[in-house]
């Protein structure tokens, strides 16, 4: 088995590329749009300014969920669509998604009615290929709490990458670290964009349709070009910040705390607890947003006063903090929590959206519904392309590398084939690399250093080589935060950082200065705000 390689097309494509559709933004929305379009026979280019899935798509609570709370807001359509997509994603990426139990402390009549409706709306939840992905009905526990189930991504970062790889396998040209700097116009028709490779030159992508899938940056992307600025509408006055804290493991099961203006949970994840999200208004520039000490302290105070955890926590308990800005599509005034999470697609050809042809803005609302949203976006783009498209197959086709079948059988079979690796390593590599994992383990066997486990999950330096050689990782942060999970539980030890930087540097041709710069950037981004040098 070989490992499929995604190449950055801007490194090899000369000065200009011509496609049917250019997708700007490689979060889950852009990745899913690129996959949907390429798999239906369109020529597609996808550019991402940072790394694939580095922004909002990595800031999630990792839930693939119907959104129980949206029932209260009577968003029945959104809940039903999300529950359907939960089932589809479990089928097309069985290695990256698990069924996940959730406890609601209160099980009064309203909650029980809501959960019953949730069960009814997910009537097809057990029509899945893998028996382990079947979802039981909710039930009341002897403690008077309610137990229900949703799904959890073991790695939202690798799920986004799986969509990017599927797009590339279907013929899409993809490039991370490539920013769209300016939309190209002929009159009121968008004809592509000038894009800049962070490590190289600028490049022109000509396209009949451009999809602006830049999430919280969607408004900024439109205002960067004078002609489209007029179609951007009013600047968002408020955005919703959400952060998560990673601590040692504090609870065995995900427990929710709900108030009328927010909710947060404490969820077991990789032997740790993931606590969040917050819901806080943010009024600054999108690119200036960071997790701040103030936000963390406010959240810790809220956690402790809610009494959700068996112990009180403080700043010293926080190993890692991450988050992002929700791309809300409605003006929520001050109440961002109750604003809709529905996705929104804007066809700028319509006169009330600027009368700009060949431009679509696609703002994703939930990670869970991105595949269905991508289908909607491509259907809107189709008449603008002047060419026929194939039928959509994305709901019935495994994502690239995810055709493992029932995942527990797959892991068990791998363990018998690969007895020379620990159970943790086999499980981790099988789940994160799917059908390519034997090739990853073979690579590890070829050099003893690459086979040494680096953390409790059994992650290997061989995965660093794969990230750089095959998965388009170009920075230390790409490798630590999104190709592996080595940095997602907090700043790794100096030994791990040095080993990863050395192996990555050998693969990517870094000199000493570049390796030192990569290490500095990673240490600075993973150092918690209250530990930053003054
Ligand atoms: C705190 C929080 C928790 C959440 N939890 C969940 C959850 O548990 N489950 C769920 O289903 N959903 C969840 N969501 C919602 C979900 O994360 C988003 O709906 C989804 O990630 C949006 O993806 P996106 O691709 O539209 O945006 P993004 O992931 O932000 O992608 C946009 C991309 O565009 C790139 N970009 C910007 N400008 C340019 C440019 N000029 N050129 C090229 N690229 C550019 C950015 O670098 C970025 O990577 C959560 C959101 C937040 C904030």
- For a pocket test of ligand 1, which of 51, 56, 160, 196 has the largest count of ligand atoms closer than 8 A to its C-beta? 56
The reported pLDDT for the residue numbered 386 is 87
pTM of the entire predicted model: 0.97
214 CB less than 6 Å from ligand 1?
A: yes
CATH architecture, domain 9-56+157-236+340-384: 3-Layer(bba) Sandwich (3.50)
The model's pLDDT over 23-66, given as tens digits with 9 standing for 90+, comes to: 999 999 999 999 999 999 999 999 999 999 999 999 999 999 99
- For a pocket test of ligand 1, which of 215, 220, 236, 285 has the largest count of ligand atoms closer than 8 A to its C-beta? 215
Q: Under the phi-then-psi rule, with left for phi > 0, alpha for psi from -120 to 50, and beta for the rest, what region is 74?
A: left
Q: Quote the ligand 1 centre to 12 CA distance (angstroms).
A: 28
Q: Quote the ligand 1 centre to 59 CA distance (angstroms).
A: 8
d(CA 487, CA 365): 26
Q: Where in the chain is the domain with CATH 1.10.8.870?
A: 407-531
The reported pLDDT for the residue numbered 235 is 80
What CATH code is assigned to 237-327? Answer: 3.30.9.10
Looking at the CA of residue 47, tell me the nearest atom of ligand 1: 43
Looking at the CA of residue 362, tell me the nearest atom of ligand 1: 26
The reported pLDDT for the residue numbered 258 is 83
26: which residues sit within 8 A by CB, 6+ positions away?
34, 46, 47, 48, 51, 52, 53, 160, 164, 174, 176
The reported pLDDT for the residue numbered 339 is 61
67 CB less than 6 Å from ligand 1?
A: no
Q: Which stretches does DSSP call E strand in 280-352?
A: 280-282, 320-326, 344-347
The reported pLDDT for the residue numbered 389 is 93
Write out the CATH class of domain 407-531: mainly alpha
Q: Quote the ligand 1 centre to 206 CA distance (angstroms).
A: 25
Strands 239-248, 320-326: parallel, antiparallel or unpaired by DSSP?
A: antiparallel
Looking at the CA of residue 31, tell me the nearest atom of ligand 1: 25
279: which residues sit within 8 A by CB, 6+ positions away?
240, 241, 242, 261, 262, 336, 337
The reported pLDDT for the residue numbered 322 is 98
Q: Quote the ligand 1 centre to 215 CA distance (angstroms).
A: 5
24 CB less than 6 Å from ligand 1?
A: yes
- For a pocket test of ligand 1, which of 24, 55, 173, 242 has the largest count of ligand atoms closer than 8 A to its C-beta? 55
Q: Which residue has the tokens 């396998």?
A: 169
Q: Which residue has the tokens 């406010």?
A: 298
Q: Quote the ligand 1 centre to 14 CA distance (angstroms).
A: 30
The reported pLDDT for the residue numbered 106 is 77
Q: Quote the ligand 1 centre to 387 CA distance (angstroms).
A: 30
Q: Where in the chain is the domain with CATH 3.50.50.60?
A: 9-56+157-236+340-384
The reported pLDDT for the residue numbered 422 is 98
d(CA 465, CA 455): 17
Q: Quote the ligand 1 centre to 421 CA distance (angstroms).
A: 36
The model's pLDDT over 225-270, given as tens digits with 9 standing for 90+, comes to: 887 888 788 888 888 999 999 999 999 999 998 876 678 999 999 9
d(CA 153, CA 155): 5
Q: Quote the ligand 1 centre to 84 CA distance (angstroms).
A: 21
Q: Quote the ligand 1 centre to 109 CA distance (angstroms).
A: 35
**Residue 275: strand pairing partners:** 245, 266
Q: Quote the ligand 1 centre to 508 CA distance (angstroms).
A: 28
d(CA 264, CA 131): 30
Give the three-state DSSP class for 499. Answer: helix
- For a pocket test of ligand 1, which of 59, 219, 262 has the largest count of ligand atoms closer than 8 A to its C-beta? 59
180 CB less than 6 Å from ligand 1?
A: yes
What are the residue ranges in the chain where pLDDT is below 50? 329
Contact 383, 40 (CB under 8 A): no
DSSP 8: B
3-state DSSP helix/strand/coil % of the chain, to nearest 5: 40, 20, 40
63 CB less than 6 Å from ligand 1?
A: yes
């Amino acid at each position: 088995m070989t490992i499929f390689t995604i190449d950055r097309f801007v490194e090899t494509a000369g000065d200009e590329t011509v496609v049917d559709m250019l997708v700007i933004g490689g979060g889950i929305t852009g990745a899913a749009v690129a996959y949907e379009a390429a798999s239906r026979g369109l020529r597609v280019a996808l550019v991402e300014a940072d790394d694939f899935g580095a922004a909002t798509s990595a800031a999630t609570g990792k839930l693939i969920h119907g959104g129980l709370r949206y029932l209260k807001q009577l968003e029945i359509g959104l809940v039903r669509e999300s529950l359907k997509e939960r089932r589809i994603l479990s089928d097309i990426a069985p290695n990256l998604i698990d069924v996940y139990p959730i406890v609601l402390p209160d099980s009064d009549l309203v909650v029980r009615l809501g959960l019953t409706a949730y069960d009814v709306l997910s009537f097809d939840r057990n029509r899945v290929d893998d028996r382990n992905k079947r979802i039981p009905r909710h039930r009341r526990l002897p403690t008077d709490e309610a137990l229900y189930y949703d799904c959890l991504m073991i790695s939202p970062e690798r799920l986004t990458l799986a969509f990017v790889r599927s797009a590339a396998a279907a013929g899409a040209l993809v490039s991370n670290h490539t920013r769209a700097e300016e939309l190209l116009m002929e009159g009121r028709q968008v004809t592509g964009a000038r894009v800049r490779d962070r490590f190289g030159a600028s490049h022109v992508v000509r396209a009949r349709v451009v999809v602006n899938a830049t999430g919280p940056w969607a408004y900024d992307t439109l205002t960067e070009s004078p002609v489209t600025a007029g179609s951007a509408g009013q600047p968002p006055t408020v955005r919703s910040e959400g952060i998560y804290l990673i601590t040692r493991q504090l609870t065995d099961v995900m427990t929710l705390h709900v108030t009328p203006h927010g909710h947060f949970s404490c969820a077991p994840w990789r032997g740790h607890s993931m606590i969040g999200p917050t819901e806080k208004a943010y009024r600054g520039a999108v690119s200036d947003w960071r997790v701040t000490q103030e936000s963390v302290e406010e959240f810790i105070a809220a956690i402790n006063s809610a009494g959700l955890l068996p112990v009180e926590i403080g700043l010293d308990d926080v190993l890692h903090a991450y988050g992002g800005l929700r791309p809300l599509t409605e003006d929520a005034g001050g109440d961002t929590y109750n604003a809709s999470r529905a996705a929104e697609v804007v066809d700028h050809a319509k006169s009330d959206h600027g009368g700009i042809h060949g431009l679509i803005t696609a703002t994703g609302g939930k990670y869970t519904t991105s595949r269905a949203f991508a289908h909607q976006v491509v259907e809107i783009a189709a008449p603008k392309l002047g060419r026929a498209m194939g039928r959509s197959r994305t709901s019935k086709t495994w994502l690239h590398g995810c055709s493992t079948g029932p995942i527990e059988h797959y892991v068990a079979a791998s363990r018998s084939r690969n007895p020379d690796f620990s159970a943790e390593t086999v499980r981790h590599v099988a789940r994160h690399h799917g059908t390519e994992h034997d090739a990853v383990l073979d690579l590890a066997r070829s050099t003893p250093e690459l086979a040494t486990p680096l953390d409790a999950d059994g992650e290997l330096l061989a995965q660093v080589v794969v990230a750089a050689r095959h998965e388009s990782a170009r920075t230390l942060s790409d490798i630590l935060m999104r190709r592996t999970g080595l940095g997602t539980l907090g700043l790794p030890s100096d030994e791990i950082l040095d080993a990863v930087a050395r192996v990555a540097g050998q693969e990517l041709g870094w000199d000493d200065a570049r390796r030192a710069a990569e290490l500095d950037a990673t240490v600075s981004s993973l150092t918690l705000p209250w530990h930053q040098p003054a």
